[in-house]
Chains A and B, each alone.
Chain A
């Protein structure tokens, strides 16, 4: 039976795994963001390494394909001097006949110190954290629709970098929110950090009304959703949403919710435009916006490495 205590915190309330942003105290988030700031300079040095994880083995366990996220975790771990082992595991653990927990048991026997896990099912990293040895740390690199906490944190780092203060912002998250683990992590992070207005923007098939319980304002009208926003986070639209009767076509989605210069003009003049990538040009975002002066999509990637270094070094410094 899983315990009712938040499994990512130890008895002292310190972070031992990063599974979700939900339930993390504001101070923990700030601490990670501050630590990331110090690592940013490491990444600009000629020798881009610190010895914080020297001798530790970090296993990248990607049950779902992802080159970008896996690479950023690999870079982050390497810059912390860890040994990184990448495991390409078939889409589903059960498809190969080996259960998820058997895979974990086997890798634990190889003396792993940290698992970076991406899995297609919501909650899979919780199962792993619950069943691995006490000294092993787990980082959720995206589970189903549930959470992508390092993306959430790097988004917060980006916002903090450009806007400094969270407590006077309006943030609009636009697109396929119901299927987005990034949106969920962003929402938890934004509300925890005290952002007074978080809006979820999109059609009713992609933006369920239940989201209001997470502390967001639901807007089905794009203009209403981005008017006066300081930050616009565009989400990637997956092709399968069309076959699932969620949307008629990418073209119609772009017409209603795609971010163009014209729509961006409704936001504050100094609004920043973010996207977790990879972007679909002409589907959720117009090229002129993606490459425009308000876009901070590439800085997000840079910050992502520092934030992942901060997460890994923070959790490995705390004991279960």
Chain B
């Protein structure tokens, strides 16, 4: 299919391009940006006047819920949510049931996703079998099956000997290990330790649960030179440690979630289970540090941490409710909102959900490494076309995702996705 996107404001954070231009697409690739040959006969023309044409978004933390949690999300619903949110590439976590610890499971997931012909799916394989923190998975086999890295999802490895070996082994082959820094013992709580948790009688996770884990990881990285991506930081102290570790030159990258970029523990209000998240929402000071860290590049990428949760699992007392929130369809808007509030140029805002996450993924993206998250002539035609100033009210019932729980229900947010193009075909449109 040949597509001509006319007269949009083309923003490519990777190259710095920001101009009104046409984009021609054929055979899944971007044929040209700017001057489109008169010979190009598009079968589909999209008028992007007044809209921004950006690279398709890249989301580094998504739970598709398949296999095993189909009551909370199906590939069909969550992939539809991805493209509705302008997300054309996503990394999914291994905490499915069964856990993504065998090549066959990964191949099946990739196959199912490919058949849906929507966003590109990049699974993280389990770092240890069944995520039990004891036996390493077959990382080379899993990589061949399509894994872009290895993760423990939310399950901490308490045994530092296993951690050390896992990083040594991953480093042998240049695989990236994705870790959410949280001490397995101090991390058992449902809200951030602090005045609010104390007042509400909720068990608290102290910030040292994060910093102790970070310090351990950094020591292991110094020793093994393994490449580590740190997932969903939550504390000001943690971000400061990452800043110093990066200055030291450690091979690390990190991300934060949209939830932690906008919310604090005060938003828990009267035990609102939609605010039950992992890691827990922290205080204003932490949120300020997250916002500043994302702006100055200490934090590489912004993720949706998309986690569809069944209705019944949220209709429970706060501590018993399942953590997580739907996020794919909010990623762009919450990024734009942050960018607006922080006074950032829009290209810089978009870089956190396009080019920067692609840098985190690096060579693991294979053939797409050079063009995903970017607008490159000859590169893959993954695009997100959106109306930057159109505000919309978040109505959970209207979301495509099977997960309807979001802390942002009722919020008015900027940025409405009008069209998502994946590998040169229109995967979503809402003109």
Residues of A within 8 A of B (CB): 1-4, 6-7, 22, 94, 99-101, 119, 121-124, 126-127, 131, 143-147, 178, 181, 184, 208, 210-211, 213-214
Contact = CB atoms under 8 A, between A and B. Distances in A.
Interface residues of B, number: 24
Majority secondary structure, B binding face: loop
Contacts of B317: 100, 119, 121-124, 127, 143-144
Contacts of A144: 201-202, 317, 319
B34 interface: no
Closest 4 A-B residue pairs measured CB to CB? A123-B271, A145-B201, A146-B201, A121-B317
A6 B270 contact: yes
Nearest to A178: B198
Given A2-B269, A123-B270, A127-B317, 7 more contacts: A94-B316, A99-B316, A119-B317, A121-B319, A144-B202, A146-B201, A210-B195
Contacts of A100: 315-317
Contact of B201 (A1, A3, A184, A213): A184
A24 to B, nearest CB: 14
A1 B409 contact: yes
B274 interface: yes
A22 B202 contact: no
B320 A213 contact: no
9 contacts: A1-B274, A7-B270, A94-B320, A121-B320, A122-B200, A123-B271, A127-B271, A144-B201, A144-B317
A146 B317 CA distance: 12
Contacts of B409: 1
A145 B204 CA distance: 12
A206 B193 CA distance: 14
A210 B200 CA distance: 12
Contacts of B273: 127
B200 A146 contact: yes
Pick from B199, B269, B272, B312 the residue with the most CB of A within 10 Å. B199
B318 interface: yes
Interface in B182-203: 193-195, 197-202
B98 interface: no
A107 B199 CA distance: 31
Given A144-B201, A214-B198, A1 B318 contact: no
Contact of B198 (A123, A126, A210): A210
A150 to B, nearest CB: 16
B271 A2 contact: yes
Contact of A121 (B270, B272, B274, B318): B318
Pick from A119, A146, A184 the residue with the most CB of B within 10 Å. A146
B315 A99 contact: yes
A175 to B, nearest CB: 16
A2 B199 contact: no
A30 B193 CA distance: 33
B316 A181 contact: no
A99 B322 CA distance: 14
A147 B269 contact: no
Interface in B262-299: 269-274
Pick from B193, B198, B317 the residue with the most CB of A within 10 Å. B317
Pick from B193, B197, B200 the residue with the most CB of A within 10 Å. B200
A101 B272 CA distance: 15
A145 B199 CA distance: 9
Contacts of B200: 122-123, 146
Nearest to B190: A122
Interface string B199-234: 111100000000000000000000000000000000
